[in-house]
Amino acid sequence: MRGPIAFIRGTRHPEGFHGHGVRRGYFEGWYVKLVDARQEARWALIPGVFRGRDGADVTDEAFVQVLDGATGRSWYHRYDASEFDARADCFDVTVGPNRFTAEGISIDLPGLSGRVNFTTEFDPWPNTWRRPGIMGPYSWVPLMECYHGIVSFGHGLDGALDAAGEISDFTGGRGYIEKDWGRAFPAGYVWMHSNHLAGAPESSLVASVAIIPWLRSSFRGFIVGLRLGRRLHTWATYNGSRERSLEIDETHVRWSLEGPSGVLELAAERVRGGLLHAPIRTRMHERVEETLDATVHVRLIDPSGQVVLDTQGTSAGLEVHGDLDRLLAVGTR
């Protein structure tokens, strides 16, 4: 278990590794998204580590997951846990021969290799003592089931990946990085992201709603960040925002929220994707379908009633997973 000093340091540096000193019942992973300039090549790479709970079926392992968004193919590469290393004060992760840093990534996997550089500085979610990152004051709550962090809303790319002889050139492309850590993923959740909003080149959207265990009960927590230029619009459980509606069916997720920035309406189209491994308490379990080929309609109406944004997000990541009936039924805080 981490001590209080390590917990505070980790809260102030969500991009770094939080698991030093945690031996059991823990996972941590970084989601690195790469989209080329023409949005033809779309890749997600997820380095991380998993430490199971004590018991006969405990599995400790490091990993690099890969999702090819253009084809829906996915791979899970296991490594011995001893082959994982990461710094606590910055984004610097090594899994076997693969390296992920603020300068770029170097990949040496079966069937996938190359180097992609990050050509502009990261654009993280603002981190203050009162609201340290995307989780706001909940970041200070110890023993949450799952913590979340935004390492970069968007940054420039160059370099290439070679997938069994097929080259993806990311020169002029756009990247995105987020991460999760804790004991397990939520029992039910929706997550979406796009930093390719038509007519708003420096924009980025990330949105999530999930079942959050709390004391002996649970609630439906939500966090939405819409970066438009240098301004970040936020709808969250902790900032006085509220959900007007949430609908999930076989083809779409439709979500409407109201907060300090006005009314935000999201409509994401569900399409087939690849399977990613997600953590449960004892092992990494293949169960989450994710696509990098979704579209998200985004409409923002400011408090005066003016439509500020009405556009489509493409090359969108979308996960809709778990006990959705419970997610829709549980109350918000």
Read off the pLDDT of residues 273-299 as tens digits, 9 standing for 90 and up: 877 888 765 567 657 889 999 999 999
Question: What's the pLDDT at 15?
Answer: 96
Question: What's the pLDDT at 2?
Answer: 66
Continuous segment of H or E residues that includes residue 136: none
The 3-state DSSP class for residue 80 equals coil
pLDDT (tens digit per residue) in 239-269: 999 999 999 999 999 999 999 999 999 999 9
134 within 8 A of 225, measured Cβ to Cβ: yes
pTM: 0.95
CA 207 to CA 16: how far, in whole Å?
Answer: 22
- Mean pLDDT, all residues of the chain: 93
75 C-beta neighbours (distance < 10 Å), count: 16
Taking the CA atoms of 290, 313, 150 and 190 in sequence, report the sign of the dihedral they define.
Answer: negative
Q: Which domain CATH number covers 113?
A: 2.40.370.10
CA 24 to CA 46: how far, in whole Å?
Answer: 21
pLDDT (tens digit per residue) in 34-44: 999 999 999 99
Q: Span 213-231, mean pLDDT?
A: 95
pLDDT at 216 over 90: no
pLDDT at 18 over 80: yes
pLDDT at 168 over 90: yes
Band (pLDDT 50/70/90 cuts) for residue 93 is very high
Measuring CA to CA, which residue among 323, 266, 321, 270 is closest to residue 298?
Answer: 266
The 3-state DSSP class for residue 4 equals helix
120 C-beta neighbours (distance < 10 Å), count: 12
Question: What's the pLDDT at 49?
Answer: 96
CA 77 to CA 65: how far, in whole Å?
Answer: 6
Q: Span 79-100, mean pLDDT?
A: 97
- DSSP string covering 261-300, please? TEEEEEEEE----EEEEEE-SSSEEEEEEEEEEEEEEEEE
Question: What's the pLDDT at 239?
Answer: 96
Domain range for 167 is 4-329
Band (pLDDT 50/70/90 cuts) for residue 1 is low
Domains identified in the chain, total number: 1
Band (pLDDT 50/70/90 cuts) for residue 55 is low
Higher-confidence position of 285 and 231: 231
